[in-house]
Amino acid sequence: MARGRRPTDEVRRDILETAGGLLFETGMGGFTIDKVAALSGASKVTIYKFWPSKGALALAGYFTAVSDVLEFPDTGRVEADLRTQLHAFVGLLTETPAGEVLRELIGAAQTDAELLTAYLSSYSAPRRALAVERLDAARSRGELRENLDSESVVDQLWGACYHRLLIPDQSLNVPFVDRLVDNLFRGISA
């Protein structure tokens, strides 16, 4: 079969796109490696070669599916770029199935060590690294204070959104993320 001779990168990308699409359609409840194999035409052996578990595959597929939406613009003004990215992030969490998928994955990961490891390595750590890279660049060009710890800023922007996603006492929306940015750039002191 021609399929068998396709380049590895292409096969990988097909599987990831299929996995991301299936996850958005069914949530983790309907997500199986069997279905990804059937839909993508890849064998289960091939899938397991790249991803050790269902959770790892779901997360890698998720990362692929949201990468375009979550891309950072780079206008050279970090405050504006953060607002743009955070608006897209909140839109993704509140207006697409992504929010429910993440709630389910993060929730299950609290009592499933393997899933947590997959979540950290396949999704949250790479996304955190992208944000830190952008914040560090802004600090290097003099937009942010010299001794700033970029990691802590990630928790006060995206982490604050995850807090409202998982513990929804208050609404997660665009005015909220704008306040998060305001608080950090203007400070909260009188």
Chain positions contacting a copy of itself, by CB under 8 A: 103-104, 106-111, 116, 119-120, 124-125, 128, 139, 142-146, 148-149, 151-153, 155-156, 158-164, 166-170, 176, 179-180, 183-190
Tokens 């995850």 identify what position?
162
Distance CA 64, CA 126 (A): 12
Q: Which of 54, 63, 70, 83 is nearest to 125 (CA)?
A: 63
Residue 33 CB, shortest distance to a copy of itself, in Å, is 21
First to last CA, the chain: 70
For 96, counting Cβ atoms within 10 Å of its Cβ (0-12 exposed, 13-18 middle, 19+ buried), the class is middle
For residue 47, the minimal CB distance to a copy of itself (Å) is 25
Cβ distance to a copy of itself smaller for residue 1 or 167: 167
Closest to a copy of itself by CB, 19 vs 144, is 144
Residue 147 DSSP symbol: T
Shortest Cβ distance from residue 45 to a copy of itself (Å)?
31
Residue closer to a copy of itself, measured from CB, 47 or 102? 102
Between 2 and 110, name the residue whose CB sits nearer to a copy of itself.
Answer: 110
Burial 117-129 (b: 16+ CB within 10 A, else e): ebbeebbbeebbe
CA-to-CA separations, 171 to 31, 97, 177, in angstroms, rounded: 29, 17, 10
Residue (68 or 189) nearer to a copy of itself, CB: 189
Minimum gap (Å) between residue 160 Cβ and a copy of itself = 4
Least Cβ distance, residue 83 to a copy of itself (angstroms): 14
Choose between 93 and 153: whose C-beta lies nearer to a copy of itself: 153
Work out how close the CB of 152 gets to a copy of itself at its nearest, in angstroms, rounded to a whole number. 4
CA diameter of the chain:
70
